[in-house]
A and B are shown apart, each in its own frame.
Chain A
Amino acid sequence: MKISLSWLKQYIDLDISAFELVDTLNNIGLMVDDWEEKENEVILDIETYANRPDTLGHLGVARELAVALGRPLKEQSWPLIELNEKTSDLINIKILDEDLCPRYCGIIVRGVQVGPSPDWLREKIKAIGLSPINNVVDVTNYVLFSTAQPIHAFDLDKLTGRKIIVRKAKKGESLISLEEDTLALSSDMLVIADEVKPVALAGVIGGQETSVSNETQDVFIESAYFDPVSIRKTSKKLGIKTEASYRFERGADESFPPQAALMAASILTQMGGKATKGILDIYSKPRKQKTIVLRNHRVAGLLGLEIQEEFIEETLSKLGFQIERTQKGVWQVKSPPFRVDVEREADLIEEIVRFYGYDKIPAKLPPFETLEPALSPKRKAFQKLRQILFHYGFDEVVNFSFVNQEKEAKLQSGRKPIEIRNPVSSKASILRTTLIGGLLENISWNLNRGAEGVHVFETGNVYFWQSDSCIEQCMLALATTGRVGTTHWQSRNEKTDFFRLKSACEAFMNYLRYDPYVFCEEDHTYFELGHSLSLHFKGEPVGFMGLVRRDILDSYSIEDEVWAAEFKLEMLLEKQAKKFQYRPVTRFPGISRDISFIASQEVTYQKIKAAVEKCSIPYLNQFYIYDRFSGPSIPKGKMSLSLRFVFCHPQRTLLAEEVDALQERIIKTLKAEFNFQLREGGKIDK
Chain B
Amino acid sequence: MKELKKKIEKYKTQFNREITLIQDKKGLQELRNLFLSRKKGYVSLLFEDFKTLKPEERPEAGKIINELKEYVQTKLQALQEEFSTAKKVEKTYDLTLPGKDIYLGSPHPIVHFQQEIEQIFLTMGFTIEEGPEIETDYYNFEALNFPQHHPARDDWDTLYIKDDLLLRTHTSPVQIRVMEKKKPPIRIIIPGKVFRKETPDPTHLPMFFQVEGLVIDVGITFAHLKGTLEYFLKALFNENIKIRFRPSFFPFTEPSAEVDIECTVCDGKNEDCRVCGGSGWIEILGAGMVDPQVLKNVNIDPERYSGFAFGMGIDRTAMFAFQISDMRNFYENDLRFIRQVLRK
Central interface residue in A344, A350, A370, A441, by most chain B CB within 10 Å: A350
A397 touches B105 (CB 8 A): no
B124 touches A (CB below 8 Å): yes
Q: Mark B106-119, 1 if CB is under 8 A from A, else 0.
A: 11101100010000
A354 touches B224 (CB 8 A): no
A400 touches B245 (CB 8 A): no
User: In the complex, A233→B331 CA distance in Å?
Assistant: 37
Q: Mark B211-238, 1 if CB is under 8 A from A, else 0.
A: 0000101011111101110110000000
Closest chain A residue to B111, Cβ basis? A396
B292 touches A346 (CB 8 A): yes
Q: Mark A451-472, 1 if CB is under 8 A from B, else 0.
A: 1001111001101000000101
A366 touches B149 (CB 8 A): no
A445 touches B128 (CB 8 A): no
B193 touches A (CB below 8 Å): yes
Given A400-B331, A484-B103, A395-B195 contact (CB < 8 Å): no
A394 touches B (CB below 8 Å): yes
Task: Determine which of A362, A366, A390, A421 lies in contact with B160 in the assembled complex, contact meaning CB atoms within 8 Å.
Answer: A421
Size bin of chain A's contact surface: 35 or more
Task: Determine which of B102, B155, B167, B339 lies in contact with A420 in the assembled complex, contact meaning CB atoms within 8 Å.
Answer: B167
Interface residues of A in 336-394 (CB under 8 A from B): 341, 344-347, 349-350, 353-354, 358-359, 361-370, 372-376, 379, 383, 386, 389-394
B338 touches A (CB below 8 Å): yes
A305 touches B (CB below 8 Å): yes
A516 touches B (CB below 8 Å): no
A346 touches B254 (CB 8 A): yes
B335 touches A365 (CB 8 A): no
Comparing B49-57, B70-78, B255-263, the segment that makes contact with chain A is: B255-263
Task: Determine which of A302, A376, A394 lies in contact with B289 in the assembled complex, contact meaning CB atoms within 8 Å.
Answer: A302
Q: Mark A225-250, 1 if CB is under 8 A from B, else 0.
A: 00011001100000000000010011
B98 touches A489 (CB 8 A): yes
Question: Could you say which residues of chain B place their CB within 8 Å of the CB of A488?
Answer: 98, 100-101
Q: Mark A72-84, 1 if CB is under 8 A from B, else 0.
A: 0000000000000
Number of residue pairs across A and B with beta carbons under 8 Å?
245
A564 → B minimal CB distance (Å): 15
User: In the complex, A27→B198 CA distance in Å?
Assistant: 30
B209 → A minimal CB distance (Å): 8
B206 touches A303 (CB 8 A): no
A31 → B minimal CB distance (Å): 7
User: In the complex, A392→B334 CA distance in Å?
Assistant: 19
User: In the complex, A134→B18 CA distance in Å?
Assistant: 120
A62 → B minimal CB distance (Å): 18
Q: Mark A657-668, 1 if CB is under 8 A from B, else 0.
A: 000000000000
Question: Could you say which residues of chain A place their CB within 8 Å of the CB of B227?
Answer: 362-366
User: In the complex, A428→B199 CA distance in Å?
Assistant: 11
A51 touches B108 (CB 8 A): no
Closest chain B residue to A483, Cβ basis? B103
A293 → B minimal CB distance (Å): 12
User: In the complex, A461→B194 CA distance in Å?
Assistant: 12
B228 touches A366 (CB 8 A): yes
User: In the complex, A425→B251 CA distance in Å?
Assistant: 30
B154 touches A (CB below 8 Å): yes
Question: Could you say which residues of chain A place their CB within 8 Å of the CB of B107?
Answer: 386, 390, 396
B4 touches A (CB below 8 Å): no
Question: Could you say which residues of chain A place their CB within 8 Å of the CB of B273?
Answer: none
Given A301-B219, A391-B105, A485-B101, A50-B154 contact (CB < 8 Å): yes
B330 touches A (CB below 8 Å): yes
Question: Could you say which residues of chain A place their CB within 8 Å of the CB of B154?
Answer: 50
B89 touches A (CB below 8 Å): no
A52 touches B127 (CB 8 A): no
A540 touches B (CB below 8 Å): no
User: In the complex, A301→B124 CA distance in Å?
Assistant: 22
Interface residues of B in 306-344 (CB under 8 A from A): 306, 330-336, 338-339, 342
A424 touches B (CB below 8 Å): yes
Given A229-B149, A305-B223, A420-B159, A446-B197 contact (CB < 8 Å): no
A445 touches B101 (CB 8 A): no
User: In the complex, A285→B151 CA distance in Å?
Assistant: 26
B144 → A minimal CB distance (Å): 13
Question: Could you say which residues of chain B place their CB within 8 Å of the CB of A396?
Answer: 105-108, 111, 338
User: In the complex, A393→B106 CA distance in Å?
Assistant: 8
B187 touches A (CB below 8 Å): yes
Central interface residue in B107, B122, B251, by most chain A CB within 10 Å: B107
B310 → A minimal CB distance (Å): 13
A489 touches B97 (CB 8 A): yes
A448 → B minimal CB distance (Å): 10
User: In the complex, A369→B206 CA distance in Å?
Assistant: 38
A250 touches B151 (CB 8 A): yes
A376 touches B128 (CB 8 A): yes
Closest chain A residue to B283, Cβ basis? A31
A398 touches B111 (CB 8 A): yes
A379 touches B100 (CB 8 A): no
B224 touches A358 (CB 8 A): no
B208 → A minimal CB distance (Å): 10
Question: Could you say which residues of chain A place their CB within 8 Å of the CB of B132?
Answer: 472
A328 touches B (CB below 8 Å): no
A492 → B minimal CB distance (Å): 13
A399 touches B (CB below 8 Å): yes
A272 touches B (CB below 8 Å): no
A338 → B minimal CB distance (Å): 15
B289 touches A424 (CB 8 A): no
Task: Determine which of A246, A301, A345, A428 lies in contact with B221 in the assembled complex, contact meaning CB atoms within 8 Å.
Answer: A301
B105 touches A389 (CB 8 A): yes
Closest chain B residue to A355, Cβ basis? B247
B335 touches A375 (CB 8 A): no
B127 touches A398 (CB 8 A): no
User: In the complex, A632→B69 CA distance in Å?
Assistant: 59
B162 touches A (CB below 8 Å): yes
A92 touches B (CB below 8 Å): no
A49 touches B (CB below 8 Å): yes
Question: Could you say which residues of chain B place their CB within 8 Å of the CB of A390?
Answer: 104-107, 342
Question: Could you say which residues of chain A place their CB within 8 Å of the CB of B330?
Answer: 398
User: In the complex, A345→B200 CA distance in Å?
Assistant: 41
B107 → A minimal CB distance (Å): 5
Given A49-B249, A399-B333, A424-B199 contact (CB < 8 Å): yes
Task: Determine which of A50, A51, A366, A386 lies in contact with B224 in the assembled complex, contact meaning CB atoms within 8 Å.
Answer: A366
B155 touches A50 (CB 8 A): yes
Question: Could you say which residues of chain B place their CB within 8 Å of the CB of A454?
Answer: 335
A350 touches B247 (CB 8 A): yes
Closest chain B residue to A441, Cβ basis? B333
A422 touches B249 (CB 8 A): no
Interface residues of B in 133-182 (CB under 8 A from A): 133-134, 148-152, 154-155, 159-162, 165, 167
B176 → A minimal CB distance (Å): 18
A402 touches B249 (CB 8 A): no
Given A301-B221, A391-B105, A472-B133, A50-B111 contact (CB < 8 Å): no
A418 touches B (CB below 8 Å): yes
Given A50-B152, A301-B221, A420-B167, A445-B332 contact (CB < 8 Å): yes
A291 touches B (CB below 8 Å): no
Question: Could you say which residues of chain A place their CB within 8 Å of the CB of B255?
Answer: 302-303, 346, 349-350, 353-354
Given contacts A249-B151, A353-B222, A392-B105, 15 further A-B contacts (CB under 8 A): A28-B247, A50-B151, A232-B149, A301-B219, A302-B222, A303-B255, A364-B223, A376-B127, A386-B111, A396-B338, A398-B108, A418-B161, A424-B200, A456-B333, A488-B98
6 CB < 8 A contacts A-B: A34-B277, A379-B128, A390-B104, A396-B338, A398-B110, A421-B159
**9 nearest A-B pairs in the assembled complex, by CB-CB distance:** A304-B221, A304-B223, A29-B247, A485-B103, A350-B255, A50-B152, A390-B105, A363-B226, A370-B125
